[in-house]
Amino acid sequence: MVATDKPTYKVVGTRPIRPDGTDKVTGRAEYGVDTRLEGMLYGAILRSPHAHARIKRLDTSKAEALPGVFAVATNADFPRVESGTMSIGEGTANPVWLVDNLLAGEKVLYHGHAIAAVAAIDQHTAEDACALIEVEYEVLPAVVDVREAMLDTAPILHDDLRTTVRARGVEPSANRPTNIALHLRLEKGDLEKGFAEADVVIEREFETAMFHQGYIEPQNGTAWWDRDGNITIWTSVQGTFNTRDQVAAVLKVDPSRIKVMPMEIGGGFGGKNPIYLEPVAAILSRKSKRPVKMWMPRDAVFLATGPTSATYCRIKIGAKRDGTFVAGHAYLAYEAGAYPGSPVGAGAQCAFAPYNIANQTVDGFDVVVNGPKTAAYRAPGAPASEYAVEATINELAEMLQIEPMDLRLKNASREGTLNSVGAPWPTIGAEAVMQAVKNHPHYNSELQGEDTGRGVALGFWFNGGMESSGTASVQADGRVSLILGTMDIGGSRASMAMMLAEDLGLTMDDINPHVVDTDNVGYNATTGGSRVTFQGGWVTRDLADQIKAQMSARAAAIWDVPADQVKYEDGAFVGPKERFSFKEMAGKLPGTGGLITVSATSKRNTQGPAFAGHIVDLKVDRETGKVQILRYTAIQDVGTAIHPSYVEGQIQGGAVQGIGMALNEEYVYDDQGHLRNASFLDYRMPVANDLPMIDVQMVEVPNPGHPFGVRGVGEVPIVPPQAAIRNALHDAIGINFYRTPVSPRVILDELLPKD
């Protein structure tokens, strides 16, 4: 670990066992689908076999008549909602589109689009009933490629969609239907002047496939709409409040009438921010007067949830002979899926983030296609645009005959240089990470063997922000209950408890963290954007300060001294003459005015920008096209690592998801928009024997905008792998690839003799 000016901590930086660990290794932890309620029914959903079709007739009568069926729901069961914009955790949506995505209205817009839902006595009966629902379709031409969807001749998904233009000097197009929902432009400096000054200009085009988040736990939702009009929902989501507010919007129920229970969540990576089943289960519950549990079969998870945008990216960079970047242009076209809302905005801001380029323009397009509505996926939008830039820079380094890391270091973003929206960077670790890559033993080791190659790439993500709340109660025995509303998706109970313990001078075992439902804690935004430990640290700092102040006042009263003469040091209240340990003082609370409960809310927008640099060695098997990763090193500026094991785990997991994108994973559609690989067998995620250990080097450049210097860590590690591996493949076999994934078939197409 490389540390700079790091304070000495007692708890932060240690590796205790997580508080929820035992339940998770013994099978006791309760995930959403583990919910069992008296009288509970089981739900199933009928999905479209077509990618684009008008629903001419929908007849559910035979399903309703099947013994064991209690309720059937269709789009007509939703109240009429108004068109508008609402937050859906990471991103926004129009409530009308949210409803249409839950159960299709007039048209189905993708293979697997939900049409009707059934609640029955058991799963088998619910599925049997779905098969009895009659649907007559008028099949329409489908478009599943972003560039085809942008053509004037493309099939139109939404007759009322017009392009929103957020680009200076660009006239909105004619008032006619389009699949281009948004054209945005970020500008800095003078692009034309920049390219005129360049000695060398490089322009390259790239495509990235549609990838799925691949969480192992399918989406689920159990709902009970009681006779008083209140709704309780048990579900595995990244944000309970986010789910509550979305369900409220589509059902037109006051949010305060909905309680969302935080069941454990089996992975999300951004994909468990949108709602899919919860409102449908609620409608089935209202109709059947019973609780209804639903979960998705795996093929539905692939067909109808997640994925990330497939993209087309064109990158143009101008440089001086000495390697100084003088101009950069990125053209980014991102698929949104069936409804607008791709993460192209974030992709645009990230594209050139690691580099200081005086003159740059980024054009981003959000484009609807006949695929599932895309959802956030780990650093949403960043992997595609940064892959394209990092691959282009590697080719530029070769053209200029400059060592690739030297070229990057020469152009590194630094504190005070302007980012792509023209704002100065705060303290960032871009240069420190680049230097750490260059100095790493891996980067400087000799690579041996035939058809082996080494590649490197950088990555950036914003991190932070949004609102968190928490409550702490001091118990008379000296322990502290910590009440949280952010979902623990990978160890955040531990990190939060550790930060509170650190501030109170206690051990992690003295803190008892709980994640509770939406009625029992203040508002918490979703778990995403690498924000939870960042914002949570502000909350626990505030809670600790309040606890210390109130307990100091009690101690002062006992000792009959002014409050300012009591200090809190090393876990003890120290007065002019006496001292009480935290535990002793806690024991005196009941007799001096009662136990103490404090609450705090934080909504700081000071981001903790994070950079990563990955180094990969690989070997290509010329007979099969399979790529074996020989060695992998992930270097990352983590700010301060609260629980280093879980920070390493985030980095390793993110890197491996990126390796999957680079080498194997992709949605495969036929020309009519049918998804051909909706299973874990055919959507090939990395398995244990595909990989070596993932070595992590944490660079700690504390975030000055956080009590402990935390930067988010979860997102940025997914950014560099696609370019690092693509650059390593060039090193290994001399071929530049311009599309990910570079699957064995793609490699064989290049290596086998063409006839």
Kindly list the residues in this chain that would bind other proteins in the complex (CB under 8 A).
15, 17-18, 20-22, 24-31, 33-34, 36, 67-68, 121-125, 213-218, 264-269, 295, 297-298, 489-491, 643, 645-646, 648-650, 652-657, 679-681, 685-689, 691, 693-694
Closer CB to other proteins, 27 or 79, in the complex: 27
The b-or-e profile of 427-460 (16+ CB within 10 A means b, else e) is bbbbbbbbbbbbebebbeeebeeeebbbbbbbbb
Closer CB to other proteins, 366 or 665, in the complex: 665
Q: Please tell me what DSSP assigns to residue 310.
A: P
Compute the least distance from the CB of residue 32 to other proteins, in Å.
Answer: 10
Contact call for residues 296 and 277 (beta carbons, < 8 A): yes
In 3D, which of 657, 726, 650 has the Cα closest to residue 691? 657
Closer CB to other proteins, 37 or 735, in the complex: 37
The two tokens of residue 3 are 């540390």
Amino acid (one-letter) located at 189:
G
Compute the least distance from the CB of residue 291 to other proteins, in Å.
Answer: 14
Q: Provide the H-helix boundaries in 150-221.
A: 191-197
Compute the least distance from the CB of residue 400 to other proteins, in Å.
Answer: 34
Closer CB to other proteins, 67 or 594, in the complex: 67
Compute the least distance from the CB of residue 473 to other proteins, in Å.
Answer: 26
In 3D, which of 160, 183, 153 has the Cα closest to residue 171? 183
Measured distance CA(134)–CA(139) in Å, rounded: 15
Vertex 450 angle, CA 446 and 451, to 5°: 100
H or E element at residue 183: strand 180-188
Distance from CA of residue 547 to its chain's centroid? 33
Measured distance CA(590)–CA(2) in Å, rounded: 46
Closer CB to other proteins, 122 or 749, in the complex: 122
| Dihedral-angle region of residue 477 (phi above 0 means left; psi in -120 to 50 means alpha; beta otherwise) | alpha
Contact call for residues 328 and 365 (beta carbons, < 8 A): no
Measured distance CA(191)–CA(359) in Å, rounded: 5
Contact call for residues 615 and 632 (beta carbons, < 8 A): yes
CB contact set of 90 (below 8 Å; sequence gap of 6+): 270, 273, 343, 376, 380, 526, 528, 529
Which residues are registered as beta bridge partners of 120? 42, 69
In 3D, which of 443, 447, 455 has the Cα closest to residue 725? 455
Closer CB to other proteins, 76 or 693, in the complex: 693
**Strand order, beta sheet including 610-620:** 2-3, 694-700, 627-637, 610-620, 452-461
Measured distance CA(275)–CA(5) in Å, rounded: 44
Compute the least distance from the CB of residue 383 to other proteins, in Å.
Answer: 16
Compute the least distance from the CB of residue 151 to other proteins, in Å.
Answer: 36
Compute the least distance from the CB of residue 266 to other proteins, in Å.
Answer: 3
In 3D, which of 480, 750, 462 has the Cα closest to residue 627? 750
Contact call for residues 210 and 245 (beta carbons, < 8 A): no
Closer CB to other proteins, 423 or 688, in the complex: 688
H or E element at residue 492: helix 492-504
Measured distance CA(346)–CA(147) in Å, rounded: 20
Compute the least distance from the CB of residue 417 to other proteins, in Å.
Answer: 33
Closer CB to other proteins, 388 or 656, in the complex: 656
Contact call for residues 558 and 593 (beta carbons, < 8 A): no
Closer CB to other proteins, 42 or 355, in the complex: 42
Compute the least distance from the CB of residue 655 to other proteins, in Å.
Answer: 6
Other C-beta atoms within 10 Å of 671: how many? 11
Closer CB to other proteins, 265 or 458, in the complex: 265
Compute the least distance from the CB of residue 692 to other proteins, in Å.
Answer: 9
Mapped onto helix, strand or coil, the DSSP state of residue 690 is helix
Closer CB to other proteins, 60 or 213, in the complex: 213
Compute the least distance from the CB of residue 503 to other proteins, in Å.
Answer: 23
Compute the least distance from the CB of residue 264 to other proteins, in Å.
Answer: 7
Closer CB to other proteins, 307 or 705, in the complex: 307
Compute the least distance from the CB of residue 101 to other proteins, in Å.
Answer: 23
Compute the least distance from the CB of residue 709 to other proteins, in Å.
Answer: 21
> In degrees to the nearest 10, what's the CA dihedral of 430, 432, 433, 437?
140
Measured distance CA(6)–CA(247) in Å, rounded: 44
Closer CB to other proteins, 328 or 513, in the complex: 513
Closer CB to other proteins, 345 or 644, in the complex: 644
Closer CB to other proteins, 531 or 554, in the complex: 531
Compute the least distance from the CB of residue 140 to other proteins, in Å.
Answer: 31
